Amino acid sequence: MNPITLYVVDDYLLTRIAHRRYFEKDKSFKLLDDFKDAETLIEKLQSKPSDIVLMDIELPNMNGIEATKIIKEKFPKTKVIIFTSHKNEQRILASLACGACGYVLKHNPDYNLKKIIKMVAKGEFWMDLEVAKLAFSIMPSPNVSDLENLYEDTNLKNSLTAREMEVLKLLIDGKTNSQIAKEIIVSINTAKAHVGSILTKLSVNDRVQAAVKAVRAKLF
Protein backbone atom coordinates (compact mmCIF):
# COMPACT_ATOMS: atom_id res chain seq x y z
CA MET A 1 0.00 0.00 0.00
CA ASN A 2 1.37 3.41 -0.98
CA PRO A 3 2.10 5.84 1.86
CA ILE A 4 -0.04 8.94 2.32
CA THR A 5 1.89 11.91 0.94
CA LEU A 6 1.66 15.23 2.71
CA TYR A 7 2.98 18.74 3.02
CA VAL A 8 3.09 20.86 6.15
CA VAL A 9 2.61 24.64 6.12
CA ASP A 10 3.48 26.47 9.33
CA ASP A 11 5.51 29.62 9.87
CA TYR A 12 6.90 28.29 13.15
CA LEU A 13 10.12 26.37 12.51
CA LEU A 14 9.91 24.22 15.64
CA THR A 15 6.46 23.00 14.61
CA ARG A 16 7.79 21.96 11.20
CA ILE A 17 10.72 20.15 12.82
CA ALA A 18 8.33 18.34 15.18
CA HIS A 19 6.26 17.18 12.21
CA ARG A 20 9.32 15.82 10.45
CA ARG A 21 10.19 13.71 13.49
CA TYR A 22 6.56 12.67 13.96
CA PHE A 23 6.25 11.21 10.45
CA GLU A 24 9.78 10.17 9.50
CA LYS A 25 9.74 6.65 10.97
CA ASP A 26 6.17 5.77 9.99
CA LYS A 27 6.04 4.05 6.59
CA SER A 28 2.31 4.83 6.31
CA PHE A 29 3.21 8.45 5.59
CA LYS A 30 5.63 10.34 3.38
CA LEU A 31 6.27 13.94 4.34
CA LEU A 32 7.30 15.45 1.01
CA ASP A 33 8.30 18.84 2.36
CA ASP A 34 7.35 21.63 4.74
CA PHE A 35 6.93 25.34 4.13
CA LYS A 36 6.70 28.55 6.13
CA ASP A 37 4.29 30.18 3.67
CA ALA A 38 1.37 29.13 1.50
CA GLU A 39 2.64 30.64 -1.74
CA THR A 40 5.62 28.27 -1.86
CA LEU A 41 3.35 25.30 -1.16
CA ILE A 42 0.95 26.19 -3.99
CA GLU A 43 3.88 26.55 -6.39
CA LYS A 44 5.16 23.13 -5.30
CA LEU A 45 1.75 21.49 -5.74
CA GLN A 46 1.84 22.36 -9.43
CA SER A 47 4.81 20.06 -9.99
CA LYS A 48 4.32 17.53 -7.19
CA PRO A 49 0.82 17.20 -5.70
CA SER A 50 0.17 15.52 -2.37
CA ASP A 51 -2.69 13.63 -0.78
CA ILE A 52 -2.85 15.86 2.28
CA VAL A 53 -1.81 19.36 3.35
CA LEU A 54 -1.58 20.27 7.03
CA MET A 55 -2.28 24.00 6.97
CA ASP A 56 -1.89 26.62 9.66
CA ILE A 57 -4.11 29.71 9.41
CA GLU A 58 -1.91 32.65 10.39
CA LEU A 59 0.88 32.73 7.81
CA PRO A 60 2.99 35.50 6.26
CA ASN A 61 1.32 37.08 3.22
CA MET A 62 -1.44 34.67 2.15
CA ASN A 63 -3.37 33.20 5.08
CA GLY A 64 -4.25 29.53 5.38
CA ILE A 65 -7.95 29.98 4.65
CA GLU A 66 -7.27 31.75 1.35
CA ALA A 67 -4.71 29.08 0.48
CA THR A 68 -7.25 26.35 1.24
CA LYS A 69 -9.71 27.94 -1.19
CA ILE A 70 -7.08 28.05 -3.94
CA ILE A 71 -6.04 24.43 -3.35
CA LYS A 72 -9.68 23.31 -3.44
CA GLU A 73 -10.13 25.03 -6.82
CA LYS A 74 -6.81 24.16 -8.47
CA PHE A 75 -5.91 20.83 -6.85
CA PRO A 76 -9.22 19.17 -5.94
CA LYS A 77 -7.59 15.80 -5.21
CA THR A 78 -5.46 17.32 -2.45
CA LYS A 79 -7.26 17.46 0.90
CA VAL A 80 -6.51 20.24 3.37
CA ILE A 81 -6.59 19.77 7.14
CA ILE A 82 -6.45 23.01 9.12
CA PHE A 83 -3.95 22.53 11.94
CA THR A 84 -4.07 25.58 14.20
CA SER A 85 -4.34 26.90 17.73
CA HIS A 86 -7.17 29.28 16.79
CA LYS A 87 -10.71 28.55 18.00
CA ASN A 88 -12.42 31.57 16.44
CA GLU A 89 -15.92 30.69 15.21
CA GLN A 90 -15.68 32.70 12.00
CA ARG A 91 -12.32 31.19 11.10
CA ILE A 92 -13.72 27.71 11.61
CA LEU A 93 -16.71 28.32 9.34
CA ALA A 94 -14.62 30.13 6.74
CA SER A 95 -12.14 27.25 6.63
CA LEU A 96 -14.90 24.70 6.10
CA ALA A 97 -16.62 26.89 3.51
CA CYS A 98 -13.37 27.16 1.57
CA GLY A 99 -12.97 23.39 1.37
CA ALA A 100 -11.05 22.21 4.44
CA CYS A 101 -11.68 18.52 5.17
CA GLY A 102 -10.70 18.78 8.79
CA TYR A 103 -10.08 21.30 11.55
CA VAL A 104 -7.61 20.17 14.22
CA LEU A 105 -6.52 22.17 17.25
CA LYS A 106 -2.83 22.09 18.15
CA HIS A 107 -1.75 20.85 21.57
CA ASN A 108 -4.90 18.80 22.02
CA PRO A 109 -3.96 15.51 23.73
CA ASP A 110 -7.30 13.88 22.93
CA TYR A 111 -6.66 13.10 19.28
CA ASN A 112 -4.29 11.04 17.16
CA LEU A 113 -3.13 13.17 14.22
CA LYS A 114 -2.04 10.17 12.14
CA LYS A 115 -5.44 8.54 12.55
CA ILE A 116 -7.17 11.77 11.52
CA ILE A 117 -5.01 12.08 8.40
CA LYS A 118 -5.82 8.49 7.42
CA MET A 119 -9.54 9.18 7.85
CA VAL A 120 -9.41 12.32 5.70
CA ALA A 121 -7.30 10.58 3.05
CA LYS A 122 -10.10 8.01 2.73
CA GLY A 123 -12.63 10.75 2.08
CA GLU A 124 -13.94 11.28 5.60
CA PHE A 125 -14.27 14.60 7.44
CA TRP A 126 -12.88 15.31 10.90
CA MET A 127 -13.52 18.04 13.45
CA ASP A 128 -13.03 17.70 17.18
CA LEU A 129 -15.98 18.24 19.52
CA GLU A 130 -14.79 21.59 20.84
CA VAL A 131 -14.49 23.01 17.32
CA ALA A 132 -17.86 21.56 16.31
CA LYS A 133 -19.57 23.22 19.28
CA LEU A 134 -18.05 26.58 18.34
CA ALA A 135 -19.17 26.22 14.72
CA PHE A 136 -22.72 25.25 15.63
CA SER A 137 -22.97 28.04 18.21
CA ILE A 138 -23.18 30.72 15.52
CA MET A 139 -25.56 28.94 13.17
CA PRO A 140 -28.81 30.91 12.76
CA SER A 141 -31.91 29.62 14.51
CA PRO A 142 -34.54 28.28 12.08
CA ASN A 143 -38.23 29.16 12.00
CA VAL A 144 -39.22 25.58 12.82
CA SER A 145 -42.95 26.21 12.37
CA ASP A 146 -42.53 26.84 8.62
CA LEU A 147 -40.72 24.08 6.74
CA GLU A 148 -40.79 26.07 3.49
CA ASN A 149 -39.08 29.10 5.03
CA LEU A 150 -36.86 27.75 7.80
CA TYR A 151 -34.27 30.48 7.26
CA GLU A 152 -36.34 33.24 5.64
CA ASP A 153 -35.05 35.88 8.08
CA THR A 154 -31.44 35.09 7.24
CA ASN A 155 -32.18 35.03 3.52
CA LEU A 156 -33.85 38.43 3.77
CA LYS A 157 -30.81 40.02 5.33
CA ASN A 158 -28.43 38.38 2.88
CA SER A 159 -30.50 39.65 -0.05
CA LEU A 160 -30.02 43.30 0.92
CA THR A 161 -26.87 45.29 0.21
CA ALA A 162 -25.10 47.22 2.97
CA ARG A 163 -26.53 50.47 1.58
CA GLU A 164 -30.06 49.01 1.46
CA MET A 165 -29.74 47.89 5.06
CA GLU A 166 -28.75 51.45 5.95
CA VAL A 167 -31.77 52.85 4.08
CA LEU A 168 -34.08 50.23 5.64
CA LYS A 169 -32.98 51.29 9.11
CA LEU A 170 -33.83 54.92 8.27
CA LEU A 171 -37.13 53.76 6.78
CA ILE A 172 -37.98 51.98 10.04
CA ASP A 173 -37.18 55.23 11.86
CA GLY A 174 -39.91 56.88 9.79
CA LYS A 175 -37.64 58.95 7.55
CA THR A 176 -39.03 60.28 4.27
CA ASN A 177 -37.18 59.88 0.98
CA SER A 178 -35.89 63.45 1.28
CA GLN A 179 -34.61 62.81 4.80
CA ILE A 180 -33.02 59.53 3.74
CA ALA A 181 -31.31 61.30 0.83
CA LYS A 182 -29.83 63.89 3.22
CA GLU A 183 -28.74 61.24 5.73
CA ILE A 184 -26.80 59.13 3.23
CA ILE A 185 -25.84 62.09 1.01
CA VAL A 186 -27.47 61.01 -2.25
CA SER A 187 -30.10 62.46 -4.56
CA ILE A 188 -33.80 61.97 -3.85
CA ASN A 189 -34.09 59.81 -6.96
CA THR A 190 -31.32 57.55 -5.70
CA ALA A 191 -33.04 57.30 -2.29
CA LYS A 192 -36.31 56.39 -4.04
CA ALA A 193 -34.49 53.72 -6.05
CA HIS A 194 -33.05 52.20 -2.86
CA VAL A 195 -36.49 52.13 -1.22
CA GLY A 196 -38.03 50.55 -4.34
CA SER A 197 -35.35 47.87 -4.40
CA ILE A 198 -35.97 47.11 -0.71
CA LEU A 199 -39.72 46.75 -1.25
CA THR A 200 -39.09 44.35 -4.14
CA LYS A 201 -36.59 42.22 -2.23
CA LEU A 202 -38.81 42.02 0.85
CA SER A 203 -41.86 41.23 -1.33
CA VAL A 204 -43.97 43.99 0.21
CA ASN A 205 -46.12 46.78 -1.26
CA ASP A 206 -45.25 49.79 0.87
CA ARG A 207 -42.84 51.27 3.40
CA VAL A 208 -44.96 50.31 6.41
CA GLN A 209 -45.03 46.65 5.39
CA ALA A 210 -41.28 46.77 4.83
CA ALA A 211 -40.71 48.20 8.30
CA VAL A 212 -42.98 45.64 9.94
CA LYS A 213 -41.34 42.74 8.12
CA ALA A 214 -37.85 43.97 9.01
CA VAL A 215 -38.75 44.30 12.69
CA ARG A 216 -40.40 40.85 12.80
CA ALA A 217 -37.39 39.33 11.08
CA LYS A 218 -35.09 41.03 13.61
CA LEU A 219 -32.87 42.40 10.86
CA PHE A 220 -31.47 44.95 13.31
Q: What is the pLDDT of residues 12-56, one digit of tens each?
A: 999 999 999 999 889 999 999 999 999 999 999 999 999 999 999
CA neighbor of 160 nearest in space, from 80, 84, 219, 98 = 219
Domain holding 114, by residue range, is 4-137
Residue 89 domain flag = yes
Please check whether residues 184 and 80 belong to one and the same domain. no
Q: How much is the mean pLDDT over the chain?
A: 87
Q: What is the CATH number of the domain that holds 163?
A: 1.10.10.10
Residue 114 domain flag = yes
pLDDT at 115 > cutoff 60: yes
Please check whether residues 80 and 161 belong to one and the same domain. no
| % of the chain surpassing 90 pLDDT | 54
AA identity, residue 206: D
For the chain, how many structural domains are there in total? Answer: 2
| % of the chain surpassing 70 pLDDT | 89
The per-residue pLDDT for range 55-111, each reduced to its tens digit, is 999 999 999 999 999 999 999 999 999 999 888 888 888 898 889 999 998 877 657
Residue 142 domain flag = no
| 179 C-beta neighbours (distance < 10 Å), count | 14
pTM: 0.66
pLDDT at 1 > cutoff 90: no
Please check whether residues 127 and 194 belong to one and the same domain. no
pLDDT the model gives residue 70: 95
CA neighbor of 86 nearest in space, from 42, 53, 56, 110 = 56
pLDDT the model gives residue 143: 62
Please check whether residues 74 and 126 belong to one and the same domain. yes
pLDDT the model gives residue 215: 75
Query: Of 100, 118, 137, which residue constitutes the final position of a domain?
Result: 137
In which band, very low, low, confident or very high, does the pLDDT at 139 lie, cut at 50, 70 and 90? low
Handedness of CA 120, 125, 128, 130 (dihedral sign): positive
